[in-house]
Structure 1
Amino acid sequence: MTLTSPSSSAPLATRPPRSSRLGGWRPGAAALPLTAMVVALLVACPLGFVALEAGQSGWDATRQLLGRPMVLTLLGHTAALTAVVTAASLVLGFGAAWLVERTDLPLRRTFTVLAAMPLAIPEFVHGYCWVSLMPSVQGLWGASLVMVSSLYPLVFLPVAAVLRRSDAGAAEVARSLGHGRLSVLWRVTLPQCRPALAGGALLVALYLLGEYGAFAMLRYTTFATAIFTEFETAFDMTSASVLALVLIALALLIVLLQAWVVRQRGRVVRERTSGRPAAPIPLGRTKPLALLAMTALVGTAVGVPVYALGYWLVKGSSTTLPSASIWSLTLTTLGYALGAAAVATAAAIPVALYAWRRETRLARAVEQTVYLTRALPGIAVALAVVFFAIRYAQPLYQQAPLLVAGYVALFFPLALTAVRSSLAQVPHAVEDVARSLGTRPLAVLARVTVPLILPGLGAAFAMVGLTASTELTATLLLRPTGTDTLATQFWTYTTGLAWGAAAPYAAVMTALSVPAVLLLTRRTLGDSRTHTTREAGR
């Protein structure tokens, strides 16, 4: 039996494929692709703006700037830190995920939540907590300690998700063939987790390239700190843009390297479809050691910041700086962050719909272009927005819309990821049926598609809003004159070494981020028995 459309007697089965059918060539058919492309271009334009500004100096001046010894020093510092922190995060993230997902470790659910909780504490707050308690935590090893304790959950969460969802049958077969625990771990479990490890390593490296606040506190110079100094101190936009181009090149190199690793090592992860979970591996005599290791990990990553915040909150403020209302700053912060969340979520809908409806090279290119902005550090995005305002929109310079635009450019990939994941759960036939009944495309979107992806829209709004509420680097450059947020006021106190006065602002930022981390943990590690993933190698 074939279905026919009310507007035509031709069977739907003989129509062109979905990629060319949805939207068709009716009036307004190009609206979705054009809207998606415009959004993608606006989000990705910081790359072009930074390149254009850097090119203003000419090749000779650029070569002279890049030939300075400072650039080589910055490159060495950045490369060394990235290598150390990424490697340590891979080891700790994988080890913690394996313990809580594949062994009989006590309090596994508690450790799962605690192991992810460092993500609720912004990196610059981590730096503040360590430096305020132990001023000797500086340099490469101090920065490595702080950043590993802050960023290892970016590896822990995806690896734990793979271990929870992957089929344990391969490991059971390997053990039945006489392989020991270490052999099974190396030959079976680790290969299953390679795509997740590569993705986690990418996120860790990109966070490191763009971080400014923590490294400024830890007195460790990187490209991000040098770029901020060039712009904020000397207002040298050209030098800052040239250094930003180097930073972007490093970020893109890391993205390409991760993609190559996934292509070489990636594989489809077959999730378990039966109700039988993987049998926990008994730790035996090593159980106390494993328990001690997990306690030390969460104690270092969560216990030290919580203790530092509690200590300075109890000790009270001591500063000659004027006091600021934490409640008014909280409202201001949430106003900017939620405004950016609303814009980013709304803008993500046409891009996600276009990539979902049309499986064409152009649609994939539009989506991947937007995801490439994840490689842009906050300082580079802020410089691009400042460049645009100074050259083309002078009245908007240091105004609220500019700060919101910076947040949208920075965190748009978060919104797109959530909306795209939600759309992946919607059957394609739903829109087909609605169209076959004569419903207009906009009505199908409003009455069918959007209600089905409301959970994804809510997740996108929450993640962008709560992430933007703790953003520091771009806020320092883009905030309106005379306006502060929780992050900037915290920074003002910490630069004056007023540790006690800064503590309430750090505590509020952390409290605002906890719901987002719990949501992320639930979405990442939630029950997955009812669906199958084939995107581990993407």
Structure 2
Amino acid sequence: MSQQAFSPAVAVARRDAGAPLWLLLTAGAPVLLVALPLAYVATRGAQAGPAVAVAEIFRPRTGELLVNTLLLAISVTALSTLIGVATAWCVERAALPGRRGWRVVCVLPLAVPAFVASFAWASLGPAFQTMGGAILILTLSHYPLVHLPVAAALRGMDPAFEDVARSLGRGGWRAFFEATLPQAAPALGAGALLVLTHMFAEFGALALLRVQTFTTAIFDSYQLEFDGETAALQSAVLLALALPAALLEMRLRRGLRFARSGKGAARRRPPVPLGRATWPALAGFSLLAALALGAPLMMLTYWLAVGSSAGRAIADLWPALGGSLGLALPGALVVTALGAPLALLATRHRGPFASFADKLPYVVHGLPGLVVALALVFFAIRFAPQAYQTAGLLFAAYAALFLPLAQSALRGSLELVPPRFEEVGRSLGRSGLGAFAWIVAPNILPGVGGALALLTLEIVRELTATLMLAPIGVRTLATEVWSHANEGRYAAAAPFAALLVAISAVPVYVFTRRADDLQDDP
């Protein structure tokens, strides 16, 4: 074998060469799948005609939904940003008593799905079934999406910039706003935009809280009024809101960089003493924990303990768990398999199609599950009616919604496998597909395992697409929570909600403790 086969120049040249046909075909399938929601909105809008579309978009009802959607999204994003930045700074930079434990507590609200938290709060009474209640509850559920990236940024950045600011006479607050916050801005922006896209897509929590936004109106138009045209046009308005936020969030998230002066590990800064603010800070953290975790868990415990109808629901608990796992496990395999060619194409080849195929799933990931489900129903009825209300159609929805999770996990592992390994395989007579199967695939098993675990958890918690597309007779934990709580049968919903929280809490706790241990290692 010639030395030239291993040279960096040859490896780069081969990466720049055109992708093999098998890879283009396997990557094309998920690309077409995730493009369906955009094609659906365009097709239905064209079918309605300009006059009907303009009348629907500009009617007073649409204006009310737009105001509600924007009010909710902007308010929750602003409050989540404020809380996320404050908690991240306190646990990473301040001498907060017990901050190792508070690091975990700040992230644990992620273990309580938003619709479960909403069910718990709604069961307290109608006072929380308002726009103000929705803003409060969804903020408590989503502020960790800002806290996590900002905390990571604060851990990774070099405090030398703050030292320079202080040497120039800047006080603590000015040094924070002029030196620290600008370095954390990409992480802060990505987290805030992630919250914003979640608010545009939120359905289950808002339905339980009786707050009308585009997502609940789309569901009502399709499921209750059987008006697919109105649902499609409302989806178009929601897409116009969600797409820019999803694109910007993707760009910021992919461009996260934390500045550091010099080489090696970042120099650690001694924690900032809080002084007189210590007790107010502890009171604030305690109140946050009580509202974000204590109240939902307390209500779940109450309904489990004293609910008169809980016993009847327990008999359905194991079939629902079986339904959740029966969809989540094969669904995770399908999504991972579809994400593999996209990750391989992005890491091994360059070009317009490779870039487009890599980015499109991230765009659709920020869209509401309702739009994805409506698109699949529309095309299935017209072109593949035998697929309607089958598990295969639901797996397609999971792929459209969660492909980026598989791509991210697989891409990280693929980037650790040098392209020259495939060169060796091909030089030994393997085809491109054979080299991938026998050489690359075994080396990316950790990434595959991570993708499967993450996707299984996400699919178990998924509500909207499952609610609309699940085969007749299939029930899951998420759909059982929604169906019982939506009818005011809170005790019946409690066992399903408690099991969902238990399933979600384990990986969230393990992740936060692992991150905490890495932070405290000398």
Which TM-score applies when normalising by structure 1?
0.89
Deviation per CA, 1:83-102, whole angstroms, max 9, x where unpaired? 11000011101111111111
Greater CA deviation, 163-172 or 350-359?
163-172
Tell me the residue number matched to 1:325.
316
**Aligned residue among 462, 474, 479 for 1:488:** 479
Tell me if structure 1 keeps the 8 A contact 2:91–2:102.
yes
For 1:4, the equivalent position in structure 2 comes to 4
Superposed, 1:69-148 pairs within 5 Å as 69-148=60-139
Shift of 1:432: 4.6
* 2:23 aligns with one of 18, 32, 38: 32
Cα shift at 1:269? 3.1
TM-aligned CA deviation for residue 525 of structure 1: 6.7
Give the structure 2 partner of residue 210 of structure 1: 201
Deviation at 1:489, TM superposition (A): 1.5
The 5 Å alignment of 1:36-435 reads 36-256=27-247, 258=249, 269-270=259-260, 273-274=264-265, 276-318=267-309, 324-432=315-423, 435=426
SS at match of 2:20: coil
Partner of 1:21: 14
Question: Kindly, what percent of the aligned residue pairs are identical?
Answer: 42
Distance 2:268 2:454 in 1: 30
Q: For the residues of structure 2 that align with 1:209 and 1:185, how far apart are their CA atoms?
A: 31
Shift of 1:528: 8.5
Give CA-to-partner distance per residue, 1:220-265, whole Å, 9 cap, x none: 10000000000011111111011011111100132355578899x9
* Aligned 8 A contact 2:312 2:492 in 1: no
| 1:469 partner SS | helix
Quickly say closer, same or farther: Cα 1:4–1:205, change in 2 above 3 A.
same
Which SS does the other structure have where 1:44 is aligned?
A: helix
How many angstroms does 1:411 deviate by?
Answer: 1.3
Asked whether the equivalents of residues 86 and 205 of structure 1 are also in contact (C-alpha less than 8 Å), the reply is yes
Cα displacement (A) at 1:105 = 1.1
- 1:452 pairs with 2:443: yes
Name the SS of the counterpart of 1:157 in structure 2.
helix
SS of aligned partner of 1:281 = coil
| Counterpart Cα distance in 1 of 2:91 and 2:511 | 17
Q: Is the 8 A contact 2:153 2:258 kept in 1?
A: no
Closer, same or farther in 2 for the Cα pair 1:509/1:446, shift >3 Å? same
The separation in 2 between residues aligned to 1:164 and 1:149, in whole angstroms, is: 23
Structure 1 counterpart of 2:385, one-letter code:
Q
Q: How far apart, in 2, do the equivalents of 1:510 and 1:176 lie?
A: 48
* 2-structure distance, mates of 1:58, 1:203: 33
Matched, 1:498 2:492: no
Aligned residue type for 1:44: A
- Following the alignment from structure 2 to structure 1, what is the Cα–Cα distance between the partners of residues 293 and 405? 24
Distance 1:173 1:14 in 2: 43
Q: Which 5+ residue runs of structure 1 have no aligned equivalent?
A: 6-10, 531-538
SS in 2 for 1:304: helix
Distance 1:417 1:47 in 2: 23
Deviates more, 1:520-529 or 1:163-172: 520-529
Quote how far apart the aligned CAs of 1:435 are: 4.9
Number of residue equivalences: 519
Moved more, 174-183 or 385-394: 174-183
Please report how far the alpha carbon of residue 392 of structure 1 lies from its aligned counterpart in structure 2 after TM superposition.
1.3
1:199 offset after TM fit, Å? 0.8
Aligned to 1:533: none
**102-111 or 200-209, larger mean C-alpha shift:** 102-111
What is the alpha-carbon distance in structure 2 between the residues aligned to residue 385 and residue 260 of structure 1? 27
Equivalent residue number for residue 536 of structure 1: none
Does the aligned pair in 2 maintain the 1:23–1:29 contact within 8 Å?
no
| Secondary structure of residue in 1 paired with 2:433 | helix
TM-fit CA distance, 1:321: 7.9
Contact preservation (8 Å) 1:199, 1:258? yes
Q: Which amino acid aligns with 1:208?
A: M
Task: List runs of 5+ in structure 2 lacking aligned partners.
Answer: none
Equivalent-residue separation in structure 2 for 1:319 and 1:508 (angstroms): 13
Q: CA deviation at 1:371?
A: 1.0
- Which has the larger helix fraction? 2
* CA–CA distance in structure 1, aligned partners of residues 513 and 226 of structure 2: 44
DSSP 3-state at the match of 1:4: helix
**Cα distance change of structure 1 residues 355 and 261 upon mapping to structure 2, 3 Å threshold:** closer
Is the partner of 2:305 in helix, strand or coil? helix
CA contact (8 A) 1:23 1:30 kept: no
Structural RMSD (CA): 2.7
CA distance in 1, matches of 2:159, 2:419: 31
Cα pair distance change 1:269/1:44, threshold 3 Å: farther
Measure how far apart 1:500 and its partner are.
Answer: 1.1
Question: Counterpart of 1:56 in 2: which secondary structure?
Answer: helix
Q: 1:125: how far off?
A: 0.7
Range moving further from structure 2, 165-174 or 146-155: 165-174
